[in-house]
Amino acid sequence: MCRKMIPGTKISYTDENIGFSYFAPLIRATDGLTLSQVCTLTGLETSTIQNWVKRGFVPHPVNKLYRERHLARILLISALRDSMQIDRVGELLRFINGDTDDESDDIISEEALYDIFCSLIGGVSENVFVEREIDLLIVKATEDYEPPDEMSLIRIRKALTVMAYAYISGMFKKKCDEEFQKLR
């Protein structure tokens, strides 16, 4: 059975389907995660997450606790940050859901977006090079999503295209770094 990393974390898994449901029970049981718990799950430094909140990439925690919306956004940013500038990741996520602290302009919940991203990434391998294959994976990953309007579906699919290429680039970058280390 092939072990993969849950996108945006340092946690490996062997299940076929992984998504936000992996984290939701933990958050609900504790009514939110502390910053140190989020750092443990993601492998990120506390200063990194605090910086993302300060810069508006992640909503402000509620009573110093990170809930579903917060963690999903952090996981998405973490999954994309190796291959995209952080400002571009923030811009990409604002393209989908606008202001991080205002849920009224969201066209999809952060958790649902993370689930769709995980579904998409589950079908991606290092051998996926063909643009058409990625397009088909995106259509499949979003087939159960019911957008508020057709334009929202188009926006999400465009953003997922960027996210897929960024994630694949990150996979290649990691592979490149591993091979470079072997040269030493």
The 10s digit of each residue's pLDDT in 62-121 is: 999 999 999 999 999 999 998 889 999 999 999 999 888 888 889 999 999 999 998 888
Q: Identify the H or E element spanning 120.
A: helix 110-122
Range of the domain at 113: 4-183
Q: What are residue 32's phi and psi, to 5 degrees?
A: 130, 160
**Distance from chain centroid for Cα 30:** 22
pTM (two decimals): 0.84
- Report the interhelical angle of 86-97 vs 110-122 (nearest 10°): 120
Number of domains into which the chain is organized: 1
pLDDT interval class at 9 (50, 70, 90): confident
pLDDT at position 1 over 50: no
pLDDT at position 128 over 70: no
- Report the interhelical angle of 150-183 vs 110-122 (nearest 10°): 50
pLDDT at 125: 58
pLDDT interval class at 52 (50, 70, 90): very high
Q: Which residues 6+ apart lie within 8 Å of 146 measured at CB?
A: none
Q: Are strands 4-5 and 12-13 parallel, antiparallel or unpaired?
A: antiparallel
pLDDT interval class at 161 (50, 70, 90): very high
pLDDT at 5: 74
**pLDDT: which is higher, 154 or 10:** 154
